[in-house]
């Protein structure tokens, strides 16, 4: 089948089915996905190693309660034994990896008797809800504002939206969160005599969700809007837009099928980092609004030196971000036909 | 007359000043004829074409003049009317097919939407017609190529696809802006052949914008020569090539190197640079670069287009026929300058190659 | 050989000429950008405040930020002579704000001093050696990139802290922030080195036996100084932000040294009773970040070679 003079064909050594697979775009896509998934492994491993090393290079043992009552030596020895901390570091490491592969992230130091998995599982729905809400805000609002600003370039609408975007992008999450609480919870309560205000914290599937989601979404909205605007302005100047007009297409088609289809491509590539931002942002937002999610659990774990918890959440976050990046990259291949998967 | 452009002025209002890109242009195109528009880069030929379709980009505007297509004034059309007009009555194909095609949409879709946008073809009819059109412009394996993206086509094939797109609605006038400039030389010849053939088959009128004189000689019946936003000469192709009257036309034709001529030391080019259109030179706009310039050219207002032969007009105080008939001794009393007369002694006469 | 050196000398001279013109152009353009000028003005003001405030406290003009006035707890601005009110322990908000600016500015500006050598070295190495070294280093940066920055900083800070005055406490924080932020600079430098490597005079130098290293460095600096400065400038608000977040979460610099993040945290506890205690430090952080962002934008536009002339 592959006998030609000179170099054998690319698929010469593979059975017939796989040959066709490598040459089709669908086939290359599958290989690409597999390669990326495999690449995730060293990344996550690296994260685990670094975190593990950091944990074990800390001064003092995890049982030193800063400013609290010191535990007796006997208790400490028992705890060390229980958590396997008296074993050599390497052994601890391999034990940990082994457990992770079985989805066992160990027991929390802080909350006696609860496994890390349990605690994460408990916090997961809260974090995910806010995250999804924020995401649902970011895409339409961010992209929408960007397009609006681009189509009305140099008008007041443009300056207003971009000015807003710059402001929102510069004020950190917790600042915005705190300011929002001041305004919407404290001041509005005072001004409307308790009638209309937003709750400053806690959980409920109602207006409790508004401020956390908006706070989390604000910076990505700003960033997305700016990028969308820049990309759209760049696209409008292209020759093929002139061709589209010259064909007599109505404005609607020109904007949607020619301008947006091209200008939104770079925006999609930023969805990965946006997602990562939502993850790290959840740490802050959950603290400000006292939401019992994973982000807050992470902060608590850090301050109380709950190492298994720290390790577990860090690994989880890294995996989630890596998966999100993978999904975005695959999506990108679908929307831009020029991309080659070599 | 199919298309009549009357005293068209198109200007760009930039921060550096007002650029008079098209500065009073009048010409016409008859049904079925091919008009060549030649001139160097920046002379306004592309802007003239874009004005006909009202596709002038910001900060440009058509400031005065009329563009009559079948008697209707394009400059006064409503948005809906012009949308119907574009791609349908008059179609344009652009210079660089790589950047002129949407990179993320299939070629077939792009051609199809040109047809369905004007409601002349339904989708079911348009789709097979796209394949037919691609075959007509001689794109190989048209049935499978229809689903390709522009980056999967070669340069020549992309240009063919653009031609197919332009012809899809059977326009009465096709404007081709430098259709071969962005292509390899070998491919250029193919495209020229294709256009000749299509021209014969379809009988559409064509406005061919180019600086490639061979192309003009090959395809056009009449040509207009533009310089600095104005027409400086106009006439039937053979006449212009045989006896150009405006020094600029003469220089253009001279600057094309010919294989069968004796080798010269240098390529002949027109000295100087194209004028700054925000501050054009006084008098005749070509005078700073003209080899036959006399004082009148600098001092008097710009000459008008005068008939210099049957069907041929030119805008010049001197004219080539006057320049050629004077001898060097009589140069002082005549309209010629001394340096130009010296030059004329060495220069061979301009000729047309082949036909 | 002589031709090569003459050409090289001409090119050197041209490069120098270009650069002088570039900086002058850039300064003019920067000045025209009102936002950037505003940002620069605000930053200068902050620097003055940071430097002058300890003096002012000593002179008695500014109230002592550590003194707790038990009789004026959580007062609103203007009450009892406290210009911006007091916090939950009765400390003057205004002076705490001004003293605290020193921390934020120190973090922002000095961290770049750590990032610069790290990023420069790695970028240079990757670009200069190319091939497998480059590949390896780029993979390394990719992996490093995968670690979410805030999480890394939090983890590092939780395990490594030094006791002592605030600038000692800052050291691990510096380290953590720098470790998280060097990637951008490294990538930039690498890109610049790669493009310089491709230029002909490097080839010429190599064939004539001299080491291209010096040549690369000589041409790297003028060409890339602009983008490097812009990158470092954009790193400043990031660093200030991270420090503020750490303080806000309670793992940053410990009291009694005031930092803005800490002030937001403290004020947040009593937000219903005394909202201004939160608002002022929050706005301070926000506007400082905004100013640096404006400056960064202004620098980037001013130094953009495409916009010359």
Beta strand B312-314 with B230-236 is antiparallel
The answer to whether the CB atoms of C148 and A276 lie below 8 A apart is: yes
**Residue B295 vs residues B33, B71, B275, B288: alpha-carbon distances, Å:** 39, 42, 19, 11
In a domain, B117, yes or no: yes
Q: Which of B148, B164, B180 is the last residue of a domain?
A: B164
**Residue C234 vs residues A139, C239, C259, C261: alpha-carbon distances, Å:** 25, 9, 21, 20
Shortest CA gap C164–chain A (Å)? 16
The pLDDT value recorded for residue B42 is 78
Phi and psi angles of residue B289, each rounded to the nearest 5 degrees, phi first: -115, 5
Look at A82-86, B230-234, C82-86 and tell me which has the smallest mean pLDDT: A82-86
The answer to whether the CB atoms of B99 and A246 lie below 8 A apart is: no
The pLDDT value recorded for residue A67 is 44
**Residue C250, phi-psi category: left (phi > 0), alpha (psi -120 to 50), beta (remainder):** left
Residue A82 has pLDDT above 90, yes or no: no
Phi and psi angles of residue C251, each rounded to the nearest 5 degrees, phi first: -115, 15
The pLDDT value recorded for residue B82 is 92
Residues of A in contact with C294 (CB under 8 A): 166
In a domain, B77, yes or no: yes
Best of C150, C264, C278, C283 to mutate (most A CBs within 10 Å, chain A): C150
Q: Which one has a higher pLDDT value, C283 or A70?
A: C283
B339 & B200 share domain? no
Q: Which of B164, B179, B206 is the last residue of a domain?
A: B164
B137 & B227 share domain? no
Instruction: Tell me which chain A residue has its CA closest to the CA of residue C158.
Output: A302
B340 & B193 share domain? no
Residue C307 has pLDDT above 80, yes or no: no
Best of A41, A42, A46, A170 to mutate (most C CBs within 10 Å, chain C): A170
Compute the average pLDDT of residues C78-84. 72
Residue A80 has pLDDT above 60, yes or no: yes
Q: Are A330 and A271 in contact (CB under 8 A)?
A: no
The tens digit of pLDDT for each residue in C125-136 reads 887 777 788 888
Compute the average pLDDT of residues C12-25. 62
The total number of structural domains in chain B stands at: 3
Shortest CA gap A273–chain B (Å)? 24
B103 contact A CB<8A: yes
A288 contact C CB<8A: yes
B238 & B123 share domain? no
Q: How far apart are CA C76 and CA C73, in angstroms?
A: 9
B/C Cβ contact: 3+ pairs below 8 Å: no
In a domain, B94, yes or no: no
- Those residues of chain B that have pLDDT short of 50 are 265-266, 326-338, 341, 348-355
Compute the average pLDDT of residues C255-262. 84
Q: How far apart are CA A238 and CA A232, in angstroms?
A: 10
Instruction: Tell me which chain B residue has its CA closest to the CA of residue A260.
Output: B104
H or E element, residue A37: helix A25-56
The answer to whether the CB atoms of C151 and A298 lie below 8 A apart is: yes
The pLDDT value recorded for residue B267 is 54
A188 contact B CB<8A: no
Any chains having at least 3 CB pairs less than 8 A from chain A are: B, C
The pLDDT value recorded for residue B11 is 92
Any chains having at least 3 CB pairs less than 8 A from chain B are: A
The pLDDT value recorded for residue A8 is 42
Q: Residue C264's closest CA among A15, A154, A125, A288?
A: A288
| pLDDT band at residue A5 under the 50/70/90 scheme | very low
pTM of the model as a whole = 0.79
B275 & B201 share domain? yes
Q: Which one has a higher pLDDT value, A101 or A196?
A: A101
B234 & B309 share domain? yes
The answer to whether the CB atoms of A302 and C285 lie below 8 A apart is: no
Q: Residue C216's closest CA among C230, C232, C198?
A: C198
Residues of C in contact with A283 (CB under 8 A): 150-151, 154, 249
B217 & B175 share domain? yes
In a domain, B4, yes or no: yes
Least CB–CB distance from A172: residue in C158, C241, C251: C241
The answer to whether the CB atoms of C275 and A58 lie below 8 A apart is: no
Q: How far apart are CA C258 and CA C254, in angstroms?
A: 8
Least CB–CB distance from C251: residue in A47, A54, A302: A302
Residues of C in contact with A67 (CB under 8 A): none
B254 & B114 share domain? no
Percentage of residues of chain A with pLDDT beyond 70: 80
Shortest CA gap A117–chain C (Å)? 19
The answer to whether the CB atoms of B101 and A265 lie below 8 A apart is: no
Q: Are B146 and B108 in contact (CB under 8 A)?
A: yes
B146 & B202 share domain? no
| pLDDT band at residue A249 under the 50/70/90 scheme | very high
The pLDDT value recorded for residue B25 is 92
Best of A55, A67, A178, A181 to mutate (most C CBs within 10 Å, chain C): A178
In a domain, B240, yes or no: yes
Q: Which domain holds residue B113?
A: 101-164
Residues of A in contact with C251 (CB under 8 A): 302-303
The answer to whether the CB atoms of A174 and C279 lie below 8 A apart is: no
The tens digit of pLDDT for each residue in C36-61 reads 888 899 999 999 988 888 888 788 77
B200 & B306 share domain? yes
B262 & B147 share domain? no
B147 & B203 share domain? no
Instruction: Tell me which chain A residue has its CA closest to the CA of residue B151.
Output: A338
Least CB–CB distance from B99: residue in A240, A249, A265: A240
Average pLDDT over chain A, rounded to an integer: 79
| pLDDT band at residue C7 under the 50/70/90 scheme | low
In a domain, B24, yes or no: yes
In a domain, B113, yes or no: yes
Q: How far apart are CA C46 and CA B42, in angstroms?
A: 53
The tens digit of pLDDT for each residue in C163-198 reads 777 778 888 888 888 888 888 888 888 888 777 777
Residue A76 has pLDDT above 80, yes or no: no
Q: What is the ipTM of this complex?
A: 0.83
Residue A240 has pLDDT above 90, yes or no: yes
Instruction: Tell me which chain C residue has its CA closest to the CA of residue A319.
Output: C146
CATH number at residue B50: 3.40.50.300
Residues of C in contact with A57 (CB under 8 A): 159-160
Average pLDDT over chain C, rounded to an integer: 79
Q: Provide DSSP, A183-229.
A: IIIIIHHHHTTTSS----SS--SSTTTHHHHHHHHHHHHHHHHHHHH
H or E element, residue B91: strand B90-93
The pLDDT value recorded for residue B352 is 31
Instruction: Tell me which chain A residue has its CA closest to the CA of residue B58.
Output: A237
Residues of A in contact with B151 (CB under 8 A): 337-338
The tens digit of pLDDT for each residue in B94-118 reads 988 889 999 999 999 999 999 998 8
Q: How far apart are CA C35 and CA C38, in angstroms?
A: 5
In a domain, B192, yes or no: yes
The pLDDT value recorded for residue B330 is 37
- 3-class DSSP assignment, residue C271: coil
Structure tokens at A177: 């969160």
The pLDDT value recorded for residue B48 is 93
Q: Which of B110, B134, B164 is the last residue of a domain?
A: B164
The pLDDT value recorded for residue A209 is 79
Percentage of residues of chain C with pLDDT beyond 90: 3
The answer to whether the CB atoms of C237 and A170 lie below 8 A apart is: yes
Structure tokens at B338: 């001394």
The pLDDT value recorded for residue B53 is 93
Size of interface A-C (CB pairs under 8 A): 125
């Amino acid at each position: 089948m592959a006998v030609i003079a000179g170099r054998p064909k690319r698929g010469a050594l593979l059975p017939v089915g796989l040959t066709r697979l490598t040459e089709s775009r669908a086939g290359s896509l599958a290989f690409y996905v597999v390669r990326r998934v495999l690449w995730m492994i060293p990344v996550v491993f690296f994260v685990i190693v670094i975190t593990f090393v950091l944990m074990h290079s800390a001064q003092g043992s995890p049982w030193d309660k800063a400013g609290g009552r010191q535990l007796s030596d006997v208790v400490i020895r028992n705890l060390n034994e229980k958590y396997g901390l008296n074993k050599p570091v390497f052994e601890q490491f391999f034990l940990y990896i082994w457990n992770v592969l079985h989805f066992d992230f160990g027991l929390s130091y802080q909350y006696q008797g609860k496994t890390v998995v349990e605690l994460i599982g408990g916090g997961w729905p809260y974090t995910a809800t806010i995250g999804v809400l924020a995401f649902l805000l970011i895409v339409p609002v961010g992209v929408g504002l960007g397009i609006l600003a681009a189509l009305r370039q140099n008008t007041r609408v443009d300056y207003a939206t971009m000015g807003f975007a710059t402001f929102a992008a510069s004020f950190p999450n917790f600042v915005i969160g705190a300011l929002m609480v001041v305004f919407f919870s404290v001041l509005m309560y005072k001004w409307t005599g308790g009638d209309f205000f937003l709750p400053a914290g806690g959980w409920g599937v109602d207006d409790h969700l508004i401020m956390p989601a908006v706070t989390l979404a604000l910076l990505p909205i700003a960033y997305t809007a700016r990028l969308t605007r820049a990309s759209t302005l760049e696209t409008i100047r292209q020759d093929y837009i002139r061709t589209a007009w010259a064909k007599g297409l109505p404005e609607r088609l020109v904007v949607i099928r020619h301008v947006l289809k091209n200008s939104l491509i770079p925006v999609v590539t930023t969805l990965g980092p946006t997602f990562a931002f939502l993850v790290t942002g959840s740490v802050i937002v959950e603290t400000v609004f006292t939401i019992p999610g994973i982000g807050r659990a992470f902060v608590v774990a850090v301050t109380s030196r709950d190492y298994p918890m720290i390790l577990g959440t860090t690994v989880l976050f890294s995996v989630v971000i890596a998966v999100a990046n993978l999904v975005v990259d695959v999506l990108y291949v679908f929307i831009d036909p020029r991309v080659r998967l070599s | 007359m199919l298309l009549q452009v009357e005293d068209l002025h198109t200007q760009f209002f930039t921060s550096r000043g007002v650029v008079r890109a098209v500065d009073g242009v009048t010409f016409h195109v008859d049904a079925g004829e091919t008009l060549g528009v030649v001139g160097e880069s920046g002379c306004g030929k592309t802007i003239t074409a874009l004005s006909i379709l009202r596709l002038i980009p910001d900060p440009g505007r058509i400031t005065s003049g009329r563009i009559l297509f079948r008697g209707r004034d394009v400059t006064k059309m409503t948005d809906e009317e012009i949308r119907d007009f574009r791609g349908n009555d008059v179609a344009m194909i652009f210079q660089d097919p790589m950047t002129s095609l949407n990179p993320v949409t299939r070629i077939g879709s792009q051609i199809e939407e040109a047809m369905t946008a004007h409601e002349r073809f339904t989708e079911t009819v348009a789709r097979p017609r796209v394949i037919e059109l691609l075959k007509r412009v001689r794109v190989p394996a048209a049935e499978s190529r229809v689903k390709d993206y522009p980056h999967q086509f070669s340069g020549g094939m992309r240009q063919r696809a653009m031609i197919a797109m332009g012809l899809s609605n059977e326009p009465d006038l096709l404007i081709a802006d430098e259709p071969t400039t962005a292509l390899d030389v070998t491919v250029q010849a193919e495209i020229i052949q294709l256009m000749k053939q299509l021209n014969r088959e379809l009988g559409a009128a064509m406005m061919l914008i180019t600086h490639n004189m061979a192309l003009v000689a090959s395809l056009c019946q009449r040509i207009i020569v533009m310089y600095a936003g104005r027409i400086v000469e106009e006439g039937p192709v053979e006449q212009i090539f045989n006896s150009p009257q405006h020094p600029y036309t003469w220089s253009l034709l001279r600057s094309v190197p010919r294989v069968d001529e004796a080798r010269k030391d240098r390529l002949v080019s027109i000295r100087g640079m194209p004028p700054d259109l925000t501050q054009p030179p006084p008098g005749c706009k070509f005078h700073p670069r003209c080899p036959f310039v006399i004082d009148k050219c600098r001092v008097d207002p710009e000459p008008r287009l005068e008939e210099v032969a049957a069907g041929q007009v030119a805008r010049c105080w001197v004219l080539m026929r006057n320049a050629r008939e004077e001898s060097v001794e009589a140069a002082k009393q005549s309209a010629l300058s001394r340096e130009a007369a010296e030059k004329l002694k060495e220069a061979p006469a301009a000729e047309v190659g082949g036909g | 050989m002589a031709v090569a050196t003459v050409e090289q000398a001409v090119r050197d001279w041209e490069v120098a000429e270009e650069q002088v013109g570039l900086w002058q152009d850039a300064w003019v353009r920067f000045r025209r950008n009102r936002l950037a000028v505003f940002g620069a003005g605000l930053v200068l003001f902050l620097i003055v405040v940071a430097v002058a405030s300890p003096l002012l406290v000593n002179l008695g003009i500014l109230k002592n930020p550590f003194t707790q006035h038990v009789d004026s707890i959580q007062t609103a601005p203007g009450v009892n002579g406290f210009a911006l009110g007091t916090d939950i322990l009765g400390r003057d908000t205004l002076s705490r704000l001004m003293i605290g600016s020193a921390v934020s500015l120190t973090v922002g500006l000095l961290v770049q001093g750590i990032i610069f050598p790290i990023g420069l070295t790695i970028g240079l190495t990757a670009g200069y050696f190319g091939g497998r070294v480059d590949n390896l280093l780029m993979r390394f940066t990719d992996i490093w990139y995968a670690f979410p920055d805030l999480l890394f900083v939090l983890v590092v800070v939780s395990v490594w802290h030094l006791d002592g005055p605030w600038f000692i406490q800052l050291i691990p924080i510096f380290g953590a922030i720098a470790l998280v932020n060097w990637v951008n600079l490294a990538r930039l430098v690498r890109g610049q080195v790669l493009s310089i490597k491709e230029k002909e005079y490097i080839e010429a130098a190599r064939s004539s036996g001299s080491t291209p290293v010096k040549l690369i460095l000589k041409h790297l600096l003028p060409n890339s100084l602009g983008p490097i400065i812009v990158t470092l400038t954009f790193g400043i608000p990031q660093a200030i932000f991270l420090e503020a977040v750490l303080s806000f979460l309670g793992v940053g610099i410990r009291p009694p040294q005031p930092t803005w993040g800490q002030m937001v945290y403290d004020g947040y506890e009593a937000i219903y009773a005394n909202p201004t205690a939160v608002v002022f430090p929050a706005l301070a952080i926000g506007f400082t970040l905004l100013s640096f962002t404006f400056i960064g934008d202004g620098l980037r536009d001013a130094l953009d070679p495409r916009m010359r002339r």
